[in-house]
A and B are shown apart, each in its own frame.
Chain A
Amino acid sequence: MSNNNTRFWDRMQNLDRRYIYIVVALAIIIPLLIPFNSKTYITEPVENLYKKVDSFTDREDRAILMCFMHDASTMPELFPMEVSILRHCFERNIKVFTICFLPTAAPLIDYAINTAKEVGGFDVKSGIDYCNFGYKPYALFLPILLGMGEDIAEAVETDSEGRKVENLEIMKDLKNYNELNLVIDFSASASVQTWITYARVKFGANIGAGITAVMAAENYPFLQTGQLVGMLGGLKGAAEYEKLVDIFASNNVVFSKEIVKETWIPITDKQIPYQFKIARIGMNAQSVAHIMIIVFIILGNIGYFVSRKSKNKELG
């Protein structure tokens, strides 16, 4: 019996990785196909970013800038964040600008704006309620970042439609980082640190980050020092922001911790469009995948200890 047991764990130790791949694939695909309700808990960095964005509601002299610093590969994590923040801005009449320094990010901006606009049914106009600065070569990242500290229109010059930025209605009452007071960088790298080093330190701009889960740990020192006003880390951050927009922005209500605690939003609710709950559906898949990985780790370790014990016995 003991011999059989050891053999079983030995075989488990050398399990063909294709079986693991099948289990992981099923653990991800099934929750995506059959969404189920799970709770989304709001964390402080997400709450702080939401409150900062929300504080610009109906203000002509405040705007946010969203910098898309990633390509399509990290879309599953970052795209829901971008759509949620754009939706928040459109719901609460907050002026929003978008920019990117990677050519592969330019279509993402259009896609995010159109998704938020069309699915949400918002009557917002380019150049009045929002403005896409579009793609600027990466070599201009630093000159534009620094230039916006003096004069946004002069630094950026034209928007994605080729219009002179200084002539746009949205630019009324906006000059530099004193007004464009919140920059949110979405990336799978440490690019937000460039915004902190220059826009935050030199001009006092508030900086937020939307970042992939694997890079989130890099930014905790900046959250603690307050150099980052808030952060959305991975799909979890996106899911939390989606929930906050559902509870508050879409109902034109100001943030309150008590309401968050008391409110339960089932994602199976058909009234919420799929594009506005995609991160929460994805979190179901992530939950199951994490559990599977933990189970794999436990099984691997049991196998390791059983094999080691039997080897020790054999050696006497």
Chain B
Amino acid sequence: MKRQIPLIIVIGLGLLFVIHTFVPHKISEDFYEWWQTWSKAISPFMVLLGIMSLFMVHSTKIKRKTANWQYSFVTLGGLLITAFVGFMWGTREGTPYMWLFKNIQMPMSATMFSLLAFYIASAAYKAFRARSVEATVLLVAAVIVMLGQVPLGAQISHWIPDTSKWILNVPNLASKRAIGLGVGLGITATSLKILLGIERKYLGGD
């Protein structure tokens, strides 16, 4: 029953949504509105579930003193402090919540993301080599697109941004579209397998 009930819900609702897409009848529209109301009611429970799960994972880590368990205090402390100041004084401009956001979260997040620039530069120097024809094509394309992205490229010659545009609009677009079509077909096939009950891995177990 633990597997059959979720399976019936997924197949039943999945088929109903397929029917709704193709049948614009009043019953179909009413069903759709009913679903929208229900989905709104379900979402707060999902947030609650997330918070509970976070607490359970990190409190277990602290209890068992697993590797880097000290950081779990930081995670839970961050969650509690942010929630407390948010509930107490609100989240608008001028509140402690906004102060925390501007002075802690913003610089820390931006710092993490900006490390990319250093890794890219180092990786480009160490690994970007014209070892084969394919690697040379990739290298030349990367240099043109990089130059085309900055004003200096256009100042050197108009053909740099023009070629960069061509690379993005022709070879890049063709490959992206091919990947997109493949992904689309894959999604359709997987959806059909789920609707027909052939694919059941999402239920867990083997």
Residues of chain A touching chain B, judged by Cβ–Cβ distance below 8 Å, are: 15, 17, 20-21, 23-25, 28, 38-41, 43, 71-76, 104, 106-107, 110-111, 114, 137, 139-140, 142-143, 146-147, 155, 213, 217-218, 220-221, 224, 234, 236, 283, 286-287, 289-294, 296-297, 299-301, 304-305
A75 touching B36 by the CB < 8 A rule? no
Q: Which one of B42, B113, B125, B155 contacts A39 once the chains associate, using CB atoms below 8 Å?
A: B155
Chain A nearest CB from B82 CB (Å) reads 9
B101 touching A107 by the CB < 8 A rule? yes
Does B129 interact with chain A (Cβ within 8 Å)? yes
Whose C-beta in chain A lies nearest to the C-beta of B106? A72
Which 7 A-B residue pairings sit nearest by Cβ, starting from the closest? A139-B43, A73-B109, A72-B109, A287-B150, A296-B125, A73-B113, A107-B101
CA distance A43 to B143 in the complex (A): 19
Give the tally of cross-chain contacts (CB within 8 A): 148
Chain A residues closer than 8 Å to B102, beta-carbon distance: 107, 111
Does B91 interact with chain A (Cβ within 8 Å)? yes
Chain A residues closer than 8 Å to B92, beta-carbon distance: 110
Main secondary structure, interface of A, reads helix
Whose C-beta in chain A lies nearest to the C-beta of B125? A296
Does B75 interact with chain A (Cβ within 8 Å)? no
B121 touching A293 by the CB < 8 A rule? yes
Does B176 interact with chain A (Cβ within 8 Å)? yes
* A/B interface sample: 10 pairs, CB < 8 A: A71-B105, A72-B105, A107-B98, A110-B98, A155-B36, A283-B151, A293-B120, A296-B125, A297-B124, A297-B142
A286 touching B91 by the CB < 8 A rule? no
CA distance A217 to B149 in the complex (A): 12
Give the residues from 1 to 48 in chain B that come closer than 8 angstroms, CB to CB, to chain A: 35-36, 39-40, 42-44, 46-47
Apart from the given pairs A146-B36, A293-B121, A301-B129, 15 other A-B contacts in the complex at a CB distance below 8 Å:
A15-B125, A23-B121, A43-B165, A71-B109, A72-B109, A73-B109, A104-B105, A106-B91, A107-B91, A137-B46, A217-B176, A220-B173, A234-B149, A304-B130, A304-B131
B173 touching A287 by the CB < 8 A rule? no
Chain B residues closer than 8 Å to A301, beta-carbon distance: 128-130, 139
Does B112 interact with chain A (Cβ within 8 Å)? yes
